Structure 1
Amino acid sequence: MSIPEPAAGTRLTTSPWLTLCPLGTLEIDARTIDAGTADQLKPNLPVVLIDQRPLSRRRLQRLARTLSIEVEREFIVLPSLRHPLILIDDTEAAVRHFWSAIATVPPGLAFTALPASALLALARNLPWSWTGIAAPGRALLGRRP
């Protein structure tokens, strides 16, 4: 895979995490990366690695180490990378705030309201780090030194 030079001022409109990244950030999908990519990354180039598969946290952290990328931020992308509605910093405070103040049972659910409420209560009581493990959509922002 050849890495294109990012054009000044360009953004992928379908990637909302790029609004939180420095201008000129290169987006790399972990599913399509090849062995020669590390050699093509310039020093100090901001890079965002994305993945939509289960266990993406561990996979992206390993890929960042392989590419010599210093991680600055990690985002959980819900419900998916293709249809992102919310980005959550993968930190304890952000994840706990999401479960306590943002996540809710949608109105109008009649027969599924009770099971949905139970699942929400369970999610609120699980360790915060499980959200990042269970949610496959992830974006990891960093740069090469």
Structure 2
Amino acid sequence: MKRAVIPLRVVIDTNLVLSALVFPQGRLTPLRQAWQANRIQPLVSRVTAAELVRVLAYPKFKLTADEQQELLADYLPYCKTVRIPEPPPKTPACRDAFDVPFLQLAVAGKAQALVTGDQDLLCLAGNFACPIITADQFINTLVQ
């Protein structure tokens, strides 16, 4: 009898999700393949999902509304939506207020990792409830 593999619960920052979606043959392809294969379960909150929607609409990406929807459809259905309680969970002080929702999501969603390239988050790595690691570190753990 085959044992079911439980996907890793992870918070992935917006820039990494964006790179994995917009550059499907880029260095973050293994990340995209991992959520598509149900090896990881990305966690999103109302705030983090809204940020992704907002960033995809930036003019610099030159994405039509249909292209934006297509990219969202390649990510959001694989995600688990987590409700952030009121009051939100306590998190370490962070220099960038836009990073706080990702920390709150990691705590509320009982994430096994927060994957980011953001130095403001990475500097909290030793002072947080779950590992905060780079995409390369995370991809290396997936390959092993």
Select the structure of larger CA radius of gyration: 1
Q: Tell me which of the two structures has the higher relative contact order, counting C-alpha pairs closer than 8 angstroms and 6 or more residues apart.
A: 1
What is the TM-score normalised by the length of structure 1? 0.22
Q: Which has the higher strand share?
A: 1
What is the TM-score normalised by the length of structure 2? 0.22
Q: Which has the higher helix share?
A: 2
